[in-house]
Amino acid sequence: MSDIILVVGGTGDLGKRLINALLVKGAVIRMLVRNESSKETILAFKNHGVEIVSVDFNSQEDLKAACKGVSCVISTLSGLRNVIVDLQKRILDAAIAAGVPRFIPSDYSIDFTKLAPGENRNLDFRKEFHGYINSTSISATTIFNGAFAELLTEEMPLVLFPVNRVLYWGNADQKLEFTTKDNVAEFTARAAMDPSTPRYLYIAGDIVSPREMKGIASEVTGKKFKLFRPGGLGFLSIMIKIARTVAPGKEDLYPAWQGMQYMHNMMKGKTIFMNLDNNRYPDLQWTPVKEVLSAHLNEKNKNED
Ligand SMILES: NC(=O)c1ccc[n+]([C@@H]2O[C@H](COP(=O)([O-])OP(=O)(O)OC[C@H]3O[C@@H](n4cnc5c(N)ncnc54)[C@H](OP(=O)(O)O)[C@@H]3O)[C@@H](O)[C@H]2O)c1
């Protein structure tokens, strides 16, 4: 079997980290790109020995040819239904036609197999793609990692630094899973080079409740953080409905209500992992939430000096 790993979505945030992690592990990498893809990123990877293949993502012949001799396709694509369902299906069909044995879809999320349809729009697309992939003969592996830990310092309104509050809905002791983007990339790279992965792999760099987050935020900032609970999960559901009506943003990947759906899913506790595969590749070092928050504050302080 060939050792070529094919990456689709390698010009994206997670994709770049994944290719770097594969390079560290000495993988032979082929990367699919399109006309719109960043030339700078492509050149940088080309200089590191990554084989670049420019394709028309609507052409099954192009995709099948690109899959020749590949042992595993990894998708780190991001988008709505046209990408997560339609494009991934085309790539999967091409991979099967070319005899590729393994496929890692672009999931990297909370465990959406536990959610009912309608509970999370973006994850419904992934569930739909799972229905398709599970009906094929390819050996698929999904990586579930909870939320990207970096979101705590970006879009996810959980640690409210300016007002020293940790916002939550429902139960302050509900455990939430977080994994850094680099840890997700490092684990995915190892999984792609591991010929016998199961259908699902579960990882979490850290598992922290809102109450524990309050302690961590207080420790790293030296300020006394308090919990802030605007209401229960029922109230959050009403807020989601209102946000969806007022600002539907149907064509946006992350409209405000979509982030609220993730928050609802996590705070409800249905998606919590029952077991972890963190120790599958023992050389991997997991980054705790405390380190992510500290690094963020150090960077912020440096920029303000
Ligand atoms: N668990 C979490 O908290 C969390 C948070 C964020 C993301 N994620 C997941 O991580 C995965 C990667 O996300 P990301 O943030 O790294 O995405 P990203 O930076 O937006 O990158 C998206 C990639 O998809 C490619 N792409 C998009 N539309 C395409 C199309 N129509 N045809 C061909 N290529 C297309 C882009 O290629 P070009 O460069 O050519 O445009 C790019 O390489 C996704 O599954 C996302 O949902 C998880």
Span between the terminal Cα atoms of the chain, in Å = 54
* Ligand 1 lined by 38 (C-beta under 6 Å): yes
The DSSP-derived string for 86-106 is IIHHHHHHHHHHTT--EEE-S
Q: Which of 42, 78, 142, 258 to mutate to test the pocket of ligand 1 (most atoms within 8 A of CB)?
A: 78
CATH number of the domain at 4-146+180-203+273-280, please? 3.40.50.720
Atom of ligand 1 nearest to the CA of 83: 31
Confidence of residue 300 (pLDDT cuts 50, 70, 90): confident
* Ligand 1 lined by 57 (C-beta under 6 Å): yes
Mark out the alpha helices in 134-255 (DSSP H runs): 181-192, 210-221, 233-246
Distance CA(245)–CA(225), nearest Å, equals 33
pLDDT tens for 62-119 read 999 999 999 999 999 999 999 999 999 999 999 999 999 999 999 999 999 999 999 9
Distance CA(251)–CA(109), nearest Å, equals 20
* CA torsion angle 205 207 211 215 (round to 10): -30
Cα(8) to ligand 1 centroid in Å equals 9
Query: Cβ neighbours of residue 139 under 8 Å, at least 6 residues apart?
Result: 101, 102, 103, 197
Atom of ligand 1 nearest to the CA of 14: 16
* Ligand 1 lined by 271 (C-beta under 6 Å): no
Cα(185) to ligand 1 centroid in Å equals 13
pLDDT tens for 153-180 read 988 889 999 999 999 999 999 999 999 9
**CB count in 10 Å sphere of residue 142:** 25
Q: Is the pLDDT of residue 1 over 60?
A: no
Answer yes or no: are the C-beta atoms of 76 and 7 closer than 8 Å: yes
Confidence of residue 302 (pLDDT cuts 50, 70, 90): confident
Answer yes or no: are the C-beta atoms of 134 and 171 closer than 8 Å: no
Confidence of residue 305 (pLDDT cuts 50, 70, 90): confident
* Ligand 1 lined by 34 (C-beta under 6 Å): yes
Q: What was the pLDDT predicted at 11?
A: 98
Q: Which of 17, 77, 182, 263 to mutate to test the pocket of ligand 1 (most atoms within 8 A of CB)?
A: 77
Cα(226) to ligand 1 centroid in Å equals 35
* Ligand 1 lined by 42 (C-beta under 6 Å): no
* Ligand 1 lined by 205 (C-beta under 6 Å): no
- Nearest to 274, CA basis, from 204, 212, 184, 178: 204
Structure tokens at 157: 């309104």
Q: What was the pLDDT predicted at 183?
A: 98
The SS3 of residue 242 is: helix
Structure tokens at 223: 């300020």
Domain boundaries, the chain: 4-146+180-203+273-280
Answer yes or no: are the C-beta atoms of 181 and 150 closer than 8 Å: yes
pTM for this prediction: 0.97
* Ligand 1 lined by 66 (C-beta under 6 Å): no
Q: Looking at ligand 1, which residue's alpha carbon is closest to its atom 12?
A: 76
Distance CA(119)–CA(49), nearest Å, equals 42
Answer yes or no: are the C-beta atoms of 174 and 232 closer than 8 Å: no
Answer yes or no: are the C-beta atoms of 166 and 213 closer than 8 Å: yes
Q: What is the average pLDDT value for the chain, to the nearest integer?
A: 96
- Nearest to 280, CA basis, from 207, 192, 209: 192
Structure tokens at 224: 């006394």
Query: Cβ neighbours of residue 254 under 8 Å, at least 6 residues apart?
Result: 122, 155
Q: Looking at ligand 1, which residue's alpha carbon is closest to its atom 9?
A: 108
pLDDT tens for 174-230 read 999 999 999 999 999 999 999 999 999 999 999 999 999 999 999 999 999 999 999
State the average pLDDT over residues 275-285. Answer: 97
Distance CA(138)–CA(140), nearest Å, equals 6
* Ligand 1 lined by 125 (C-beta under 6 Å): no
Q: What was the pLDDT predicted at 154?
A: 86
**CB count in 10 Å sphere of residue 192:** 27
- Nearest to 220, CA basis, from 168, 178, 304, 161: 161
Answer yes or no: are the C-beta atoms of 42 and 110 closer than 8 Å: no
